[in-house]
Chain A
């Protein structure tokens, strides 16, 4: 039994924001109330001055296993998730072999069960081998534990196939998570804007993302299927989402902390840690993303945690792998939105707990008696400096090394078990 005393419980799912105690018994929440007695508790955590919230749910992570274990394993990736305050992660299918059939899904589930420290929900590939030609065996993957499908890394270029995928996925209530990128327009390494004018790097225009967002939602609307656009980065996309959501409620989207924290100016020194896909955008886009978070257009904050080994990043910008190792900085960066007045704590946490849970249709992200004891205790004021060498993730590729953040996860509990304790 674990007793968490006097923490400020913020649970967007039950509209709760008050200082209370939480009693955990076994793997579930036993009681939430004031002044719960200490008797019988094996462990008491003093959460005074701290915030107790449902464990964060990341709808977009790369765990790299099977196939790229030198970049990350399910073990190290979930440990990074735990440090960052995530109790559930969706892992993307661009492994090797690609997760496009139940064997790979089962492998991931088994590994996660034996070596992972947080809940892992695989996203199966939409198309076999991520090749964009044939549908993958979504039904069997769903039986094996997949909660979503995504060809992340690419779009499904063939519109007919994408339409079929949306219809078919509906059968299993799999979330369809879409990476939107028109590959004929992209093929650059930075955003096409003022910064690329100075750096001379090949650049990607915003419309490469926006065209696909329009297309994906138009098709989803046509077949009346849910669709989720991941890692949105441009002002144009925010405007499209705003417009589409007013007439079609089944379209949702997420963005990542780097898109509301850094602009393309960060790429001017050719630091490969700023190379990410979609690329960091202009300051106007950053402002629009923040506005989209504020007015609810953007439903979810995900990490797109993309760990890479040192060698993949320690090369010329053009040749470097894209991606930021983000699980351990996500909460700190997101809390800046609260400090900056863009969101309040409840609003922010909703985007990282109950909203992701709804998208994935999993029974987490909410704290109430009887529910799984997946929760975190964090400080929204503690200042700390990001040290990539202290990451649990193998991926040290972050542009935030040395940056001081305000707000930090301290304790992570999954199914009643403490998997991270930074107190």
Chain B
């Protein structure tokens, strides 16, 4: 479970807050990651994972707090999703690169939480805080989800 974002920029911390909440519920054996800063490093993280969940704040014009969910490889990520680095490589690029290179989990679920303010401020806006709680539950149900593979390996 990978949370992307910047905890100093308002709602951009949403992805980080979700993985922290998940880790609090599942304990230290949960495979949670905050970051990476470089989107290409996702490929290394995915390399030995069967199922991966990525959570990030997004801006797509919907109301703050709206939750997007994509299940790959069946679905396609919108190309502008999740730009975290100045290389200009987005999460969608990492997905495409991973697929081209055969470095892709069997199941990748991406949760996008529509952000409100992402300026230099502390804390989440109310709708996004509610969305973080909602997505935390969704991620936990992914963890206990379709596969019966035991957690904590």
| A, B in one complex | no
Chain A positions near chain B (C-beta within 8 angstroms): none
